[in-house]
Structure 1
Amino acid sequence: MSGKVWFITGVSSGFGRVLAEEVAKRGDKVIGTVRQHRQLEEFNAISPGNTFAYIMDVTNAEGVKATVDAAVKHLGRIDVLVNNAGFGFLGAVEEATVKEFREVMETNFFGALQVTHAVLPYLRRQGSGHIVQMSSVAGFRSTQGFGVYNASKFALEGMSEALAQEVAPLGIKVSIIEPGPFRTNFAGSSIKNAQQEMPEYEETARVFKNTILGYAGQQEGDPVKAAQVLLQVVDSGNPPLRLPLGQTAFDAVRKKLQQVEQNLSDWESIATKTAFKD
C-alpha cells in the first residue's frame, strides 16, 4: 500500500533516517524534521519530490504546531506520525540531577506529546491515521543505570496506551515500538551521561554504562530490517499496540512478564485480602 504522507521526527540519523529512506523508496511522501539548516538540503535530496525537511525542535510547542500546520498545508494531510526524536541517558538515579531528568523528559516524553497534540486535530478530521511511538524495550523493562531514560519511555508508553483507547473510535491507530539494540548512533552521539559519578554505583550503573558504550557499532539489530517491519505494521489492518523489535527485546519482555507473574503468584493470597468484610 502506498500514497501515504508520513511525518517523522528526528530524521538526521538513526532509525528516523533509515525509516524515512525506506518510506520514500516505495513512493510515499515524508515530512522529516531536523535540527540544523545544513541538514535540510541533504534530506530533501534523498528522494526529490518525496522527502521534505523542516527545521523543528520538539521541545518548542509553538514551533511544533507551526511545522505541522505547514506540512499539512504543503501536502494536504498526514497519514502516519512517527515520534522518533529522542536521546538516551546513562547514570544511576541518584547520580542524575532533577535538571538532567527534566531535560530527558522534555524531549523523549513532552516532545512526543506536543507533536501528537499538534497532529491529532488533523487525524480526527480525516477520521483516520496511525501514530507510531518509538519507545524502547527500556520503556517496558528497567535496567540499573538507565533509570532516567526508562522513566521517559515508561511515561511515553503509559500515555500512548491510554491514547490508543481514546482515539480508536475515531479511526486512529496507535502503535508503541520497543527496539532492543540496533546498529544506530544511539550508543554514540545520541546518548548523554550523568555529570556526577558516584563510587557506590560502580558495580551496578557503571557496569551497564560500560556495556552500552562498549558495543556501540556492534549491536545485533539491522535498522533497515527494523524499518521494513515498521512498514508492515503501518500497512497492517490490525496493527499491534505494543511491538518489541529484535530477539533481545522479545526475550527481555518475556523475562519481565515471567517476573511479574511470579510476584503475583507469591503475594496474591496476602495482598488481595484488603476488602471490607461487609
Structure 2
Amino acid sequence: MDKKTAIVTGANRGFGLLCSIELACKGYHVLATMRDTRKAEKLVKTAKLRETDRHITIMQLDVTSETSIHDFKEGLTKYSSIDLLLNNAGYALGGFAEEVSIEEFREQFETNVFGVMAVTQAVLPFMRQQGYGKILNMSSISGRFGFPGLSPYAASKHALEGYSESLRFELKPFGIDVFLIEPGSYKTNIWTSGMKVATRSLDKESPYYTYLKRIETELENGRDRLGDPAEIAALVGEIAVGNKTAFRIPAGKGTRGMIYIKSILPWGMLEKMIRRKLNM
C-alpha cells in the first residue's frame, strides 16, 4: 500500500470518529480502532456519506489489553509505512479525591495514560525504522488546569503531558514529531454519557454532594458555549499535512486565555476566582 497510513484509537465516536474521516479526506488510509467493533456503525455510515469508506479500515484494539495490542502490532506489518498515530481513546472520571477509590484512579490511568504508552510503544519501532512519523496525543485543558471534581481525569492528563514532553525530546533525532492537542469543552459525549462519576460523590450523604451539584450546574450553564468537535478534526488534519508545528496546541473558546491567566496570576488570586465562581 502506497497510501500514507494513520492510526486512530477510540474511533467509534466523538473526536476519534471525526478525526478518522478528516484524515481519510487528507489522503491517509485510516486504521480506525476501537475496543468493540460492533460500535463502528456510526463511523461506517458517516464515512459512506463523505465517500471515504474505502480509505478506512475498522480494527479491534483495546488499549488496556496486552494481547489486543500485540495482535494489533502484528497486523501492522502488512502496511508499507505507519505515518501518523492519534492517541485519542480515553474517558473522563469525575468525583472528589477522598471519594474516588484507588481502583477507579487506576482504571482512569490504564486507559488515559498506560493505554497511550502501550500503543505508542507498539507503533514506534515502525516509525523509527522508516525515519519519520507523527504522534498526536489527545490531552485536554485539564492537562494544564486541575479543576475541582475532576481529579482522576486531570491527574491522568497531567501525566500525559509530562510523558509527551519527554517523548518529544526523545524522538526528534529519529524524525518523529510529537504533538499535544489540548481541547477545552466541546460537544462530545465525554461530558455526557461518556463521563463517569465516582459512586460515593453521587450519594446525597456525601460531604461533597452540594459542591458536586454546583459544579454540575456550572457545566450545564455552559452547555450552549460548547465548541463544535469538527474544529478538533480540522486541527488534526492541519497537523497531518504539516501546517501546524507547535508542540502544544490549545483549542476551544477561552482555552488559551485560561492557560495564560494561570501562567501570570498568583495561585492565591486564581484560587479565589474559581471558588467565587463555584460559590465555595
TM value normalised by structure 2: 0.85
Query: Are 1:212 and 2:219 an aligned pair?
Result: yes
Cα deviation digits, residues 12-68 of structure 1 (max 9, x gap): 100000111111123321001122232356645623320001111100022113213
Distance in 1, Cα, partners of 2:61 & 2:135: 18
**Structure 2 vs 1, CA of residues 260 and 105 (structure 1 numbering), >3 Å: closer, same or farther?**
farther
Write out aligned runs for 1:229-244 (5 A): 229-236=235-242, 239-244=245-250
Query: Are 1:77 and 2:81 an aligned pair?
Result: yes
**What is the match of residue 257 of structure 1?**
263
**Structure 2 vs 1, CA of residues 235 and 37 (structure 1 numbering), >3 Å: closer, same or farther?**
closer
Distance in 2, Cα, partners of 1:118 & 1:53: 18
**What is the match of residue 29 of structure 1?**
29
Residue 214 (structure 1) shift: 6.0
Task: Give the secondary-structure state (helix, strand or coil) at the position aligned to 1:6.
Answer: strand
Residue 205 (structure 1) shift: 4.1
The one of 200, 217, 232 equivalent to 2:207 is 200
**What is the match of residue 223 of structure 1?**
229
**What is the match of residue 8 of structure 1?**
8
Distance in 1, Cα, partners of 2:110 & 2:229: 25
Residue 77 (structure 1) shift: 1.8
Distance in 2, Cα, partners of 1:98 & 1:106: 12
Distance in 1, Cα, partners of 2:74 & 2:158: 29
Residues 12 and 40 of structure 2 are in contact (CA less than 8 Å); yes or no, is this contact kept in structure 1?
Answer: no
**What is the match of residue 61 of structure 1?**
66
Unpaired segments of 5 or more residues in structure 2?
270-280
**What is the match of residue 170 of structure 1?**
174
Task: Give the secondary-structure state (helix, strand or coil) at the position aligned to 1:200.
Answer: coil
Residues 146 and 154 of structure 2 are in contact (CA less than 8 Å); yes or no, is this contact kept in structure 1?
Answer: yes
**Structure 2 vs 1, CA of residues 41 and 62 (structure 1 numbering), >3 Å: closer, same or farther?**
same
Aligned length: 260
Task: Give the secondary-structure state (helix, strand or coil) at the position aligned to 1:104.
Answer: helix
**Structure 2 vs 1, CA of residues 136 and 82 (structure 1 numbering), >3 Å: closer, same or farther?**
same
Give the letter aligned to residue 162 of structure 1: S
TM value normalised by structure 1: 0.86
Query: Are 1:144 and 2:148 an aligned pair?
Result: yes
**Structure 2 vs 1, CA of residues 81 and 24 (structure 1 numbering), >3 Å: closer, same or farther?**
same
Cα deviation digits, residues 226-271 of structure 1 (max 9, x gap): 21122112322661111111132112211211136999xxxxxxxx
Residues 91 and 193 of structure 1 are in contact (CA less than 8 Å); yes or no, is this contact kept in structure 2?
Answer: yes
**What is the match of residue 49 of structure 1?**
54
**Structure 2 vs 1, CA of residues 262 and 68 (structure 1 numbering), >3 Å: closer, same or farther?**
same
Give the letter aligned to residue 184 of structure 2: G
Give the letter aligned to residue 71 of structure 2: A
Report the more deviating stretch, 170-179 or 231-240: 231-240
Residues 90 and 209 of structure 1 are in contact (CA less than 8 Å); yes or no, is this contact kept in structure 2?
Answer: no
Distance in 2, Cα, partners of 1:12 & 1:181: 19
**Structure 2 vs 1, CA of residues 219 and 111 (structure 1 numbering), >3 Å: closer, same or farther?**
farther
Please tell me the root mean square deviation across aligned C-alpha atoms, in Å.
2.3
Unpaired segments of 5 or more residues in structure 1?
264-278
Identity %: 33
Cα deviation digits, residues 96-137 of structure 1 (max 9, x gap): 110110110110001111001100111100110010000000
Distance in 1, Cα, partners of 2:24 & 2:213: 40
Residues 16 and 88 of structure 2 are in contact (CA less than 8 Å); yes or no, is this contact kept in structure 1?
Answer: yes
Residue 210 (structure 1) shift: 3.9
**Structure 2 vs 1, CA of residues 230 and 207 (structure 1 numbering), >3 Å: closer, same or farther?**
same
Task: Give the secondary-structure state (helix, strand or coil) at the position aligned to 1:114.
Answer: helix
Cα deviation digits, residues 196-238 of structure 1 (max 9, x gap): 026432454442234335655x443111122112211232266
Task: Give the secondary-structure state (helix, strand or coil) at the position aligned to 2:129.
Answer: helix
Give the letter aligned to residue 62 of structure 1: T
**Structure 2 vs 1, CA of residues 69 and 48 (structure 1 numbering), >3 Å: closer, same or farther?**
same
